[in-house]
């Protein structure tokens, strides 16, 4: 039996990413927006994490779509986790994470570099060639910006939002401040399947 799981191999100190292609039911789920938003399944490379109820929690996104670069590699789609992120943000969660990041900027810088390398590795050889030839500014952006497109090389080291960090932590299984994130999310799924629409 062939495994559905695929892996993006590690590079340097970057950990691997495990994901699987979305099932037809998950594609329908994304198109219908039952997770709270409608997603274009063509932009989805795979699903690295589902909840115990079987619904996608995080998407692995293609770095390039018909509208241009898409810097968010891991996209949080779980309504339970999205609501918790919103609640934490309204209580100053972004500021608290940024305070932690400021205490150890090198750890976050390495994480941003890993995100840039991962995003670049998701481009096909044809996309890489086309971008370098026709849209060099897009190519540079995809290969040089960190988590969620944060321009960490030029001083923008902010957290942006907790949704990005939560998606990266759960989808990739790593984050320099994973213990802080775990403390904010003692539960990472709902008690009943919110996404079922029932």
Residue 44, beta-bridge partner list: 61
Reduced 3-state DSSP string for the chain? CCCCCEEECCECCECCEEEECCCHHHHHHHHHCCCCCCCCHHHEEEEEEECCCCCEEEEEECCEECCEECCCCEEECCHHHHHHHHHHHHCCHHHHHHHHHHHCHHHHHHHHHHHHHHHHHCCCHHHHHHHHHHCHHHHHHHHHCCHHHCCHHHCCCCCCCHHHHHHHHHHHCCCCCHHHHHHHCCCCCCCCCHHHCC
- The label of the residue with tokens 């079987």 reads 54
Q: Where are the domains of the chain?
A: 6-185
For 141-192, write each residue's pLDDT tens digit: 999 999 998 988 776 668 889 999 999 999 999 999 999 999 999 999 999 8
Please tell me the pTM assigned to this model. 0.90
pLDDT at residue number 6: 73
Range with lowest mean pLDDT among 31-45, 63-77, 100-114, 153-167: 31-45
pLDDT band at 1 (very low <50, low <70, confident <90, very high): very low
For 145-157, write each residue's pLDDT tens digit: 999 989 887 766 6
């Amino acid at each position: 039996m062939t495994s559905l799981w695929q892996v993006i191999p590690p590079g340097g100190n970057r950990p691997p990413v495990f994901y699987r292609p979305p099932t037809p039911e998950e594609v329908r789920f994304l198109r219908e927006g039952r997770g709270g938003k409608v997603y274009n399944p063509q932009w989805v490379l795979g699903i690295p994490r589902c909840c115990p109820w079987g619904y996608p929690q995080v998407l692995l996104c293609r770095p390039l779509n018909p509208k241009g670069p898409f810097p968010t590699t891991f996209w949080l789609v779980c309504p339970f986790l999205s609501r918790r992120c919103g609640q934490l943000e309204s209580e100053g969660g972004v500021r608290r994470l940024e305070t932690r990041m400021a205490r150890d900027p090198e750890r976050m810088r390495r994480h941003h570099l890993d995100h840039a390398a991962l995003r670049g590795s998701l481009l096909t050889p044809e996309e890489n060639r086309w971008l370098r030839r026709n849209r060099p500014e897009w190519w540079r952006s995809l290969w040089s910006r960190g988590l969620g497109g944060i321009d960490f090389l030029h001083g923008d080291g902010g957290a942006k939002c907790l949704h990005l960090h939560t998606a990266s932590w759960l989808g990739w299984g790593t984050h320099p401040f994973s213990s802080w994130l775990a403390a904010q999310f003692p539960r990472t799924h709902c008690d009943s399947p919110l996404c079922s629409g029932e």
